[in-house]
Amino acid sequence: MTMQIETDRVASEVLTPVRVVDCDVHPTSRVGELDEYFPDPFRKTFAARAVGSGSPVYYDAPDYANAMAMRTDSFPDDGNFAGSDPDLTFRQLIMEAGSDIAILGPLAGPAAQTPEEAHAVAFAINRWQEVHWLDSRNNWHKRFRGSIVAAMSAPEAAAREIETWAGHEYYSQVLIDAEGRPSWGDPQYDPIWEAASRHDIPVACHLGRGNHNELPMSPVGFMTYNHDLMVTYSMLAANQVMSLVFDGVFDRFPKLQIILIEHAFSWILPLMWRMDKIYELRGNELGLRRKPSEYVKDHIWFTTQPLDYPEDKLELTNALEWMEADRLLLFSSDYPHWTFDDPQWVAKHMPEPMRDKIMFGNGINLFHLPSEVPALHGQRLVR
Amino acid sequence: MSLGEIRKTGPSSQPRLARGRDHVVAQVGEIASGDSKIVPIGRHGVGVYNVDGKFYAIANYCPHEGGPLCLGRTHGQTVTDEDSPGGAAEVRQGEFIYCPWHQWGFELATGTTAVKPEWSIRTYPVRVDGNDVIVTA
Amino acid sequence: MTGTESLKIDSSVHAYFRSDADLRTYLRAPFKSRGFPDPDVSWFSPEGPKYATGAENADGSHPGSDPEKVGADIFGEGGLDFAVVHPMTGAAILPDWHLGTAILSGTNQMLAERWLEQGTYADRFRGTIRVHPTDIDGAVAEIARWKNHPKMVQIGLPTQTQVPYGRPQFRPLWRAAVEAGLPVAIHLEKGLGVTHPPTPSGITRTYSHHAAYQGMTYIWHLMNMIAEGVFAEFSDLKVIFGDGAADILTPFIWRMDTFGRPHLEQTPWAPLIPSDYLAGHVYFVNSALDGPPIDADFASEWLRMTGKEDMLLFGSSYPEWQLSTPADLPAGWSDEQRTKVLGANAARLFGLFTPALV
């Protein structure tokens, strides 16, 4: 069921102001689509492992066997997975939900067992995006931007990928994960921070799952269900924030910008207090140039999805004001996952003076996006 | 029908049924037990459900974030069951509709949820008259 | 309850043995000659004093080992009415839980003899029954041994476990606690033992990061206990998280409510919205690292949110280097909130009344 606008595939000459920058959208590959992009010998390795292999899921989202942790209305008709069809994503997210620019964060590819494999997957996804999502046919509307996937376990190779894609018009961020050890303050990751900050590209981290001690595993053992796991998952992000601050990463790389995607955000308010308190009590024995909370407000961003809230929404409004949320937040939907947040719904939960910055202003500045894009007749207008 | 299709067919191509009166939404037998049909009543449509021969009608709009409630799946409710391995069982099969977005569940008969009764969605009276299934909306 | 409103209670004073040799006098053979860590080790120790200035003992014995000095500092200078004493050890994270139980039992004996049954301040100190989480049978026996002691007011468990406290193996512990009518205090264990790394990313590079992060570890236990239905099954169970960080409860329970709601179908043994399990079940001792900043004008509202003002118990953590005093608490709290945190919450929880006039 295509719309006339898709059949024409011509971007309008008329420009419209960007009102929603959606910082978390998940394209995935169609069956077999990624294979040709894996370098040798990994293509054979991944294919051989996949023979006869079934679902690896544990910690399952509600009704997983039917919904597969997705919005059940986001599966295309051709039998491929949710998020595999650029046209359906355009229709549901851009036209119906009203996101103006979507920053794509691919979560595709097989699980990597070695750093070399992790880099091979990143290498493949970066090339696949260019052909299947960001080319002039699939991105005719100029609303998609992509990510330079960077393998944290192979920092030198990852830095080379950043060099390769940094100048590309449609690649707006570096994309890493957080489950590996040690935490981000370790100097082994410096090549990635260096390359990204030299090219003035933010580094985004999306939550994922490893195995064993990289699930992530808590200090008190494994959680039991999907919800105690995913709720406490934010403690991994909290640890990475503390490592970035206390291990001096922002003193080494003053231009670095970090985005934490889908890790929730209201925890950063008490965490800033906590970091400032230990800094005060220990008398800055680490030689930091600034207070911890200042590093957070100047260098770290959080996406709004998942927007968690109490019964009394005024408490959320207060918390947003106390944390100076317009200095911290970027709107995101997480389309097509089941935890999708609708942009109009999020917008009305943001205090009015902060709304424009969070919904699009911060995103335009951070990703160096245009403030106007080709208009789309019939697109939902998010206010 | 998908939500996109409902929005796409505007007043010019399919008359939107006005609210506040009886609507014949189907013939008896058209909606089998366990099945449903979405009809274009009101702004978002109404889902009409047959649960073991009894009909229910609920607004096709989730009060959480406005998702297309009736595109979701119906099933029952989970309760503890010490006699069952795993300690859980499902009761009241098919009596709840779960939103296809965040899986919020609503009782078809009342439009409410067990966990937070104040989060509810509009339901409509349904009756059978002869061969007609009639929703009052 | 008359007489409790204005009580000032220190809900967490840390007691120590005078020395390793002193501890061994409370052990019988064969445990007497076993090897086990000192509570103080260099691994992730602060550079500088481990204990607060002024808490040292003249004879060089471990700070916090002399009830006369502690009492003089807490009740005399500090002006408090009661103190709940929580002995610090490295025993509850030992791999050999037999040894762990033996040490903890000796510790409970020492606490009763030195702090609760004799001395100038015996009528003002209250005690903790320390138990090892791997030795459930031993723990239940130890609780039975001490539960009728008039001065033992809580059970003590370590934060660092191999599996979270929601798991079914801990049910006999909760049952014993509820039957004894005692809350359970969960506190970071000292020394060194078979614990997972302190963060999901392994160890930290710095002490500041480690110290500020560790106090938040309770959140994994709490979310797991809620989802596993511990508070549903044991409706009288009270748990006290003894290392502060009550602040993060607010954002995490918002998330648990919002994200957890559709998962309730997976956990019918915990059918209520998660935040409904907090009131009357969950308590916190404060810590020096807690927020908000002392001059925050929203401090009163923040404490009210999530019902924290009814959960928070002032505790000094004397004699640790990061001990807190009532003067460290946010200036913006209301008088009623201050009264609750400084003593009324603890008085109700531990069953404390105005002491007889001396």
Q: What is the pLDDT of residues C28-67, one digit of tens each?
A: 999 999 999 999 999 999 999 999 999 999 999 999 999 9
Q: Is C23 on the interface with A (CB under 8 A)?
A: no
- Residue C243 belongs to some domain of the structure: yes
- Residue C147 belongs to some domain of the structure: yes
Domain of residue C158, residue span: 4-350
One-letter amino acid for residue A361 of the chain: G
Q: How far apart are CA A171 and CA A201, in angstroms?
A: 9
Interface probe for C, chosen from B64, B83, B115, B119 (most Cβ of C below 10 Å), is B115
Q: What are phi and psi of A234, to 5 degrees?
A: -60, -20
- Closest to A225 (Cα-Cα) out of C243, C245, B86: B86
* pLDDT at residue B119, rounded to an integer: 80
pLDDT for A166 beyond 70? yes
Task: Count A/C contacts: CB-CB distance under 8 Å.
Answer: 220
- Residue C358 belongs to some domain of the structure: no
Q: What is the pLDDT of residues B21-63, one digit of tens each?
A: 999 999 999 999 999 999 999 999 999 999 999 999 999 999 9
* pLDDT at residue C201, rounded to an integer: 98
pTM of the model as a whole? 0.95
* pLDDT at residue C1, rounded to an integer: 41
Q: How confident is the model at residue B16 (pLDDT cuts 50, 70, 90)?
A: low
> How many CA atoms lie less than 13 Å away from B71 in the CB half-sphere?
22
Q: What is the CATH number of the domain that holds C89?
A: 3.20.20.140
Q: What is the pLDDT of residues A221-265, one digit of tens each?
A: 999 999 999 999 999 999 999 999 999 999 999 999 999 999 999
Q: Is C202 on the interface with A (CB under 8 A)?
A: yes
B3:A73 CB<8 A: yes
Q: Which of A9-13, A328-332, C169-173 has the lowest mean pLDDT?
A: A9-13
* pLDDT at residue B14, rounded to an integer: 52
Domain count across chain C: 1
The answer as to CATH 3.20.20.140 being correct for domain A18-51+59-374 is yes
Among all chains, which residue has been given the structure tokens 């299934």? B133
Residues of B with CB below 8 A from C264's CB?
78, 115
Sequence length of chain B is 137
Q: How confident is the model at residue B18 (pLDDT cuts 50, 70, 90)?
A: low
Q: Is C223 helix (H, G, I), strand (E, B) or coil?
A: helix
Domain limits, chain A: 18-51+59-374
Average pLDDT estimate for A136-152: 97
Asked if A80 contacts A86 with a C-beta cutoff of 8 angstroms, the reply is no
DSSP assignment string, A58-97: -SPPTTHHHHTTB-GGG--TTS--TT--HHHHIIIIIIII
Is residue A116 exposed (0-12), middle (13-18) or buried (19+ Cβ within 10 Å)? middle
- Residue C356 belongs to some domain of the structure: no
Q: Where are the beta strands (DSSP E) in A92-135?
A: 101-104
Rg (CA), chain C: 19
Which residue from A minimizes the CA distance to B74? A63
Per 3-state DSSP, what percentage of chain C is helix, strand, and coil (rounded to 5)? Answer: 40, 10, 45
Residues of C with CB below 8 A from A183's CB?
199, 201-202, 204-205
Q: How far apart are CA C164 and CA C184, in angstroms?
A: 15
* pLDDT at residue C325, rounded to an integer: 93
Q: What is the pLDDT of residues A50-74, one digit of tens each?
A: 999 999 999 999 999 999 999 999 9
Q: What is the pLDDT of residues B114-127, one digit of tens each?
A: 778 878 899 999 99
Q: Token digits for A313?
A: 């929404």
Q: Is B43 on the interface with A (CB under 8 A)?
A: no
Residues of B with CB below 8 A from C272's CB?
115
Q: How confident is the model at residue B13 (pLDDT cuts 50, 70, 90)?
A: very low
* pLDDT at residue A374, rounded to an integer: 96
C264:B102 CB<8 A: no
Q: Is the peptide bond before A191 cis (omega within 30 degrees of 0)?
A: no
* pLDDT at residue A18, rounded to an integer: 98
Q: Is C263 on the interface with A (CB under 8 A)?
A: yes
| Helices within chain C (DSSP H only) | 20-24, 67-71, 97-110, 136-146, 171-180, 207-214, 218-227, 230-233, 249-260, 299-304, 335-339, 345-350
One-letter amino acid for residue C34 of the chain: R
Task: Count B/C contacts: CB-CB distance under 8 Å.
Answer: 28
Per-residue model confidence as pLDDT tens for chain C (358 residues): 445 558 999 999 999 999 999 999 999 999 999 999 999 999 999 999 999 999 999 999 999 999 999 999 999 877 899 999 999 999 999 999 999 999 999 999 999 999 999 999 999 999 999 999 999 999 999 999 999 999 999 999 999 999 999 999 999 999 999 999 999 999 999 999 999 999 999 999 999 999 999 999 999 999 999 999 999 999 999 999 999 999 999 999 999 999 999 999 999 999 999 999 999 999 999 999 998 998 899 999 999 999 999 999 999 999 999 999 999 999 999 999 999 999 999 999 999 987 554 4
ipTM of this model? 0.97
C273:B104 CB<8 A: no
